[in-house]
């Protein structure tokens, strides 16, 4: 394993200290592992809190700031944060209007956020949870853990953050989050496995000419293994898989995220975006807004995910609203 | 009289911690195959914190106090799926054991409460390829053999848990991360089931080593 | 080789098409391979043009926009752009106040920009060249090709772009660029080699427990090979190497760039930043501004570079000036 | 009479293109060792464009016109260090050969003008581990043997270039990317010197195959 770390046990603490040093405009609680905005809102507003295992940077800490999250809780690598941490975050940013938890749908996250929500409620902090579960690689069934939350987290956190900033009420903000999630689908392909520091070696072995199709963001293998093919063909498969599960028709507009999994050069991500753009254009679907880059990563995994969120005027307006975070900034 | 007392339950938890420390790499390897490769480090982090927490716990008032503290610490320190699940299980066992000692039947009831907590929180059924698939047969074996003495019951529970782990191999996961693999989850043991086996083996080890004082 | 590409020959054309599709706010000339701002300045201003081989994204195309570059010319992977391209860029953005070429010091870049400057001069376009040569891994000697240009390109392009935006004259803008370059030093460490698409395999073999120290951004091996060590020790070596060639003393302020080479997760880069911050603090050097992320990459190479630019009030003001590009945005 | 005419110079350039196409991987491999792994693809891209440019060049007026067009195309299409260097060399050779034919002495002067252009632009001295280290001995051999006939002179130039490539192996690079490696550049042949050898070999091949018409 080759990593720029001190010891596997101290990765999170060390990286968080670095994040705090790099972002003096944020309030980073190193003990509780909470990244929060540097200043409290002037008037009560719904606070948006997210979190999840580390190794997905810039998610979620990179999205804390005006217009997006109020706080983020990084767990250990690929391990959801603990309830204490989430409760500390809720306490830190609650300004009287309640808290929305944005939770990617993984058993660990659901359980830990769930326990935290109970504890917060006991303290009189009203909590609503927005579950993100956009990954069409996973069958959606009530008998299983259900679909994973991946790239759509960016769209949900951006939209929910923008609406909260405008002073919308707790239920309204939570309902929007659910709508954005429902309008989003993702699918990912990996060219290499990720190496969890504590594991010390790649999560799976992949021959030089094979890829994993339908991977998540935790280094787990995908739904199947395939031969590596030209980007155009891979993208065609990814786009078609996403569309097959989507309710998009010609004339619809989307926000598209071509997301790097951590080890893929931006040059390739732009190339992929070009293919996505062309494939969608063939089907009459217009990309109204896009992001190309590393946003929801899986440590050093090479590969990409595509997220398409159907976007009407409401969502586009929220998307365009100003945001000022470490990873996403516009005016 | 064949009872579990506070030293013994402390010894149990310490045995778990030692086993987790020793088996960390194996648990992580199992989790790498069908999960995200952190189960070993998750539990080691948790039980390291548990040992520290128990050191600061002076004069626990009951068997349950030890287990409740263990569970709370796991919840506070582990994260992931296993933190809340095992944490809640230990807290439920703690709540079920308010006395300074517990007899085999009481202890069996506590183990059952632990399993119930896991199932309530995680909503896993037997056969979903989770800790439930080791804890369920272990509990059944313990209950079946409880009147043969605690050490023997713990031993048969550990064996049943081990069998439970093996029985997860052909299963397709329906809960936890392994479920994302669909049919590719078949052919591997469940890491959580494997750590549950460690928990029951640790009980047998503690009981075999410590002569209960009660 | 595992890459999200169609064919090695079409990487640049395909990626540039994707970049154009992703950034409708920019004017991308696919034939001439010029990325320019979407609109011409209201009044004549000095135009800032940069360029270089591809594979370093977001450099340079990601820095085109208000407050930074007027145009960028991507060459083939790791190959400097050709004079025709640079001339087309100069023509496209020249508004009467002259053009500054920001050139990283590589033989190919120097020669091609040099030929382009001659051609532009023949057309009556006044050109000044700012050479970036910040990499202390390379001996600075008049008998050799001299030091490479790496991370400092970001500082130079940002400062020069901001000053040009304010209406400063051609010589003034070029002189500032030279000053910022002179105030900057960089050093890099690689954990893995990069794979050039046309080469099809990594530029060098590196055992699991070794690193290359003093690498550039073109996948070439470094000055020496060392054992992989904890991040704290590696960073200490990098910081000390940079400082040994710098004129920084206690009380000085710097802009620090902890730059990923393409394959290193952001989590690790933040961890590295934390170590850099601590090491500099020990020496009484304060990081006034920082960037942590992938800015000057080397395809899929894992590793990082550190750039320290001594910064007085003038440079900090230019650094803080608004910028709106694909890769760098603030207000 | 032993002269170089327009068909022959066209054949020369086409032989270079063929050699570059065939040797692309080797050139890139040499460049991977001490450079950035693109020398082969750079030259292939360049000479592919040159072939297309020559196809559109109808009725070149002089030997030099072919070489000038070759050089301009290389400058426009290659980029990197080798594009301007080889491009300028071919342009300089073109400027030196304004007639419809060139005799051995005129051609030797053109080769010298090519080297001068490379040295002016790149400022490399012999021994810096660059194309100069192949072109310089090749030129000297050509000059020395020019009166033995063009084919023989080109052959000895190619051999001298080959020796020049070998002689770059022990050198530490002082120009181009390989200079960044410092002492680690020692022990490898220079990729640009290797492509210069191809250029001279192609000349010998073209001269050996085509009976000059002049
Ligand atoms: N819903 C559930 N009910 C019971 N056990 C579960 C459930 N989900 C996951 N598990 C158990 O958790 C184990 C994984 O734990 P761990 O790796 O620590 O957490 P994570 O999956 O969050 O990385 C699985 O092997 C499985 O036994
Ligand atoms: N200053 C120079 N003078 C002469 N030749 C040079 C000089 N710099 C580099 N070269 C030649 O260029 C070759 C590399 O060409 P190429 O790989 O195409 O360009 P780049 O180095 O820009 O990637 C080197 O092997 C060397 O022979
Ligand atoms: Mg986990
Ligand atoms: Mg796990
Ligand atoms: Mg090159
Ligand atoms: Mg090269």
The residue written with tokens 């993100």 in the block is A132
Distances (CA, A) of A175 to A102, A121, C118: 12, 19, 62
Which of the ligands is closest to the CA of residue B37?
4
Q: Cβ neighbours of residue D213 under 8 Å, at least 6 residues apart?
A: D5, D7, D8
Locate the chain B residue with the closest alpha carbon to A148: B180
Say if the Cβ atoms of C223 and D181 lie within 8 Å: yes
What is the predicted pLDDT for the residue at B1?
53
Locate the chain B residue with the closest alpha carbon to A53: B80
Residues with CB under 6 A from ligand 1: A 79, 107-108; B 31, 35-36, 38-39, 42, 80-82, 85, 118, 122-124, 130-132, 175-177, 190-193
What is the predicted pLDDT for the residue at D1?
53
Using most ligand atoms within 8 A of CB, pick from D44, D117, D131 the residue to mutate for ligand 2.
Answer: D131
pLDDT per residue as tens digits for the range B88-118: 999 999 999 999 999 999 999 999 999 999 9
Neighbours of chain C (3+ CB pairs under 8 A): A, D
C134 touches chain D (CB under 8 A): no
Report the distance separating Cα A198 and Cα A297, nearest Å: 18
What backbone phi and psi angles, to 5 degrees, belong to C139? -65, 140
Confidence of residue C311 (pLDDT cuts 50, 70, 90): very high
Residues 206-245 of chain A with CB under 8 A from chain B are 216, 218-221, 223-224
Using most ligand atoms within 8 A of CB, pick from B23, B46, B82, B179 the residue to mutate for ligand 1.
Answer: B82
Instruction: List the one residue out of D6, A162, A292, D88 whose CA is nearest residue C294.
Output: A292
Using most ligand atoms within 8 A of CB, pick from C104, C107, C219 the residue to mutate for ligand 2.
Answer: C107
Complex-level ipTM:
0.95
Arithmetic mean of pLDDT, A163-188? 98
A290 touches chain C (CB under 8 A): yes
Q: How far is the CA of A80 from the centre of ligand 3 (A)?
A: 6
- Tell me whether residue B49 is exposed, middle or buried, using C-beta atoms within 10 angstroms of its C-beta: 0 to 12, 13 to 18, 19 or more: middle
pLDDT exceeds 60 at position B158: yes
Confidence of residue B213 (pLDDT cuts 50, 70, 90): very low
Do residues C274 and C309 lie in contact, with contact meaning Cβ atoms separated by under 8 Å?
no
Question: What residues have their beta carbon closer than 5 A to ion ligand 3?
Answer: A 78-79; B 36, 38, 80
Do residues C181 and C152 lie in contact, with contact meaning Cβ atoms separated by under 8 Å?
yes
What is the predicted pLDDT for the residue at D214?
39
Strand, coil or helix: what is C73? strand
Do residues A329 and A294 lie in contact, with contact meaning Cβ atoms separated by under 8 Å?
no
From the candidates A94, A218, A246, A277, which is the catalytic residue? A218
Q: Which atom of ligand 2 is nearest to the CA of D30?
A: 25
Using CB atoms, which residue from C234, C266, C330 is nearest to A294?
Answer: C266
Say if the Cβ atoms of C270 and A300 lie within 8 Å: no
Measured in Å, how far apart are chain B's first and last C-alpha atoms?
7
pLDDT exceeds 80 at position C140: no
The DSSP annotation for C214-272 comes to S--SSS---SEEEE---HHHHHHHHHHHHHHTS---TT-EEEEEEEE-BSS-HHHHHHH
From A166's Cα to the closest Cα of chain B, the distance in A is 33
What is the predicted pLDDT for the residue at D212?
47
Least confident of A129-143, A173-187, B92-106, C317-331: A129-143
What is the predicted pLDDT for the residue at B69?
97
Arithmetic mean of pLDDT, A267-272? 98
What is the predicted pLDDT for the residue at D211?
55
Q: Which atom of ligand 2 is nearest to the CA of D190?
A: 25
pLDDT exceeds 60 at position B9: yes
Report the distance separating Cα A262 and Cα C262, nearest Å: 8
Nearest protein CA to atom 5 of ligand 2, as residue = D130
Nearest protein CA to atom 25 of ligand 2, as residue = D192
Question: What residues have their beta carbon closer than 5 A to ion ligand 6?
Answer: D 31, 35-36, 38-39
For residue C299, give both structure tokens. Answer: 């395809």
Least confident of A14-18, A219-223, B188-192: A219-223
Say if the Cβ atoms of A76 and B41 lie within 8 Å: yes
Catalytic positions of C are: 56, 218
Using CB atoms, which residue from D80, D82, D181 is nearest to C220?
Answer: D181
Residues 44-103 of chain C with CB under 8 A from chain A are 54-55, 57-58, 62, 77
The residue written with tokens 């043997």 in the block is D145
Sign of the alpha-carbon dihedral angle for D71, D73, D76, D78: negative
Arithmetic mean of pLDDT, B147-165? 96
Which of the ligands is closest to the CA of residue A77?
3
Least confident of A196-210, A225-239, C269-283, D113-127: A196-210
Distances (CA, A) of C112 to C94, C105, D16, D87, D130: 19, 11, 23, 11, 18
Residues in chain C within 8 Å Cβ distance of D90: none
Residues in chain C within 8 Å Cβ distance of A7: 230
Q: How many interchain CB pairs under 8 A, C with D?
A: 124
What is the predicted pLDDT for the residue at B210?
64
Strand, coil or helix: what is A286? strand
Q: Which atom of ligand 2 is nearest to the CA of D43?
A: 18
pLDDT per residue as tens digits for the range C319-331: 999 999 999 999 9
pLDDT exceeds 60 at position A35: yes
Enumerate residue ranges in chain D where pLDDT < 70: 1, 210-214
Q: How many interchain CB pairs under 8 A, A with C?
A: 189
Report the distance separating Cα D211 and Cα C298, nearest Å: 49
Say if the Cβ atoms of C79 and D78 lie within 8 Å: yes
A204 touches chain B (CB under 8 A): yes
Confidence of residue C289 (pLDDT cuts 50, 70, 90): very high
Q: How far is the CA of A214 from the centre of ligand 4 (A)?
A: 18
From the candidates A23, A56, A246, A277, which is the catalytic residue? A56
Clarify whether A23 is annotated catalytic: no
pLDDT exceeds 50 at position B212: no
Which of the ligands is closest to the CA of residue B89?
1
Instruction: List the one residue out of C236, C232, C192, C185 whose CA is nearest residue C211.
Output: C192
Instruction: State the helix-helix crossing angle for A107-122 and B82-95, rounded to 10 degrees.
Output: 50
């Amino acid at each position: 394993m080759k990593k720029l770390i001190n010891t596997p046990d101290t990765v999170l603490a060390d990286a968080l200290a670095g994040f705090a040093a790099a972002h003096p405009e944020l309030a980073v609680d190193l003990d509780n592992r909470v990244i929060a905005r540097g200043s409290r809102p002037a008037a009560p507003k719904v606070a948006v809190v997210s979190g999840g295992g580390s190794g997905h940077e810039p998610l979620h800490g990179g999205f804390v700031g005006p217009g997006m999250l109020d706080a983020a809780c990084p767990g250990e690598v690929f391990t959801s944060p603990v309830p204490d941490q989430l409760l500390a975050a809720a306490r830190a940013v609650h300004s009287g209007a309640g808290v929305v938890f944005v939770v990617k749908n993984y058993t660990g996250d659901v359980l830990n956020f769930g326990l935290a929500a109970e504890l917060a409620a006991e303290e009189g902090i009203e909590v609503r949870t927005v579950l993100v579960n956009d990954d069409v690689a996973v069958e959606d069934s009530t008998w299983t853990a259900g679909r994973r939350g991946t790239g759509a987290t960016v769209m949900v956190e951006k939209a929910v953050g923008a609406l909260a900033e405008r002073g919308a009420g707790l239920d309204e903000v939570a309902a929007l989050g659910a709508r954005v999630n429902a309008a989003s689908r993702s699918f990912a392909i990996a060219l290499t496995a990720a190496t969890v520091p504590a594991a010390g070696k790649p999560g799976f072995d992949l021959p030089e000419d094979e890829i994993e199709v339908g991977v998540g963001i935790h280094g787990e293998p995908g739904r199947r293994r395939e031969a590596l093919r030209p980007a155009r063909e891979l993208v065609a498969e990814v786009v078609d898989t996403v569309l097959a599960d989507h309710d998009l028709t010609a004339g619809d507009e989307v926000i598209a995220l071509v997301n790097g999994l951590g080890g893929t050069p931006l040059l390739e991500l732009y190339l992929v975006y070009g293919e996505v753009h062309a494939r969608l254009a063939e089907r009459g679907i217009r990309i109204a807004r896009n992001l190309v880059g590393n946003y929801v990563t899986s440590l050093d995994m090479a590969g990409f995910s595509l997220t398409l969120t159907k976007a009407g005027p409401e969502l586009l307006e929220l998307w365009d609203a100003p945001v000022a975070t470490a990873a996403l900034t516009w005016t | 009289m064949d009872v579990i007392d506070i030293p013994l339950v402390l010894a149990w938890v310490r045995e778990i911690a030692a086993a987790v420390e020793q088996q960390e790499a194996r648990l992580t390897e199992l989790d790498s195959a069908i999960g995200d490769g952190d189960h070993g480090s998750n539990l080691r982090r948790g039980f390291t914190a548990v040992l520290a927490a128990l050191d600061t716990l002076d004069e626990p008032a009951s068997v349950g106090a030890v287990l409740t503290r263990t569970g709370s610490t796991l919840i506070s320190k582990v994260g992931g799926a296993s933190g809340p699940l095992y944490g809640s299980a230990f807290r439920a066992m703690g709540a079920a054991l308010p006395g300074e000692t517990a007899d085999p039947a009481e202890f069996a009831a506590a183990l059952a409460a632990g399993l119930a907590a896991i199932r309530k929180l995680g909503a896993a059924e037997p056969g979903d390829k989770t800790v439930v698939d080791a804890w369920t047969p272990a509990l059944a074996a313990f209950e079946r053999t409880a009147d043969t003495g605690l050490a023997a019951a713990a031993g048969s529970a550990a064996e049943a848990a081990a069998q439970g782990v093996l029985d997860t191999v052909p299963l397709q996961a329906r809960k936890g991360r392994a479920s994302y693999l669909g049919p590719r989850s078949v052919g591997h043991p469940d890491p959580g089931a494997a750590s549950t086996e460690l928990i029951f083996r640790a009980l047998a080890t503690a009981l075999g080593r410590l002569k209960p004082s009660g």
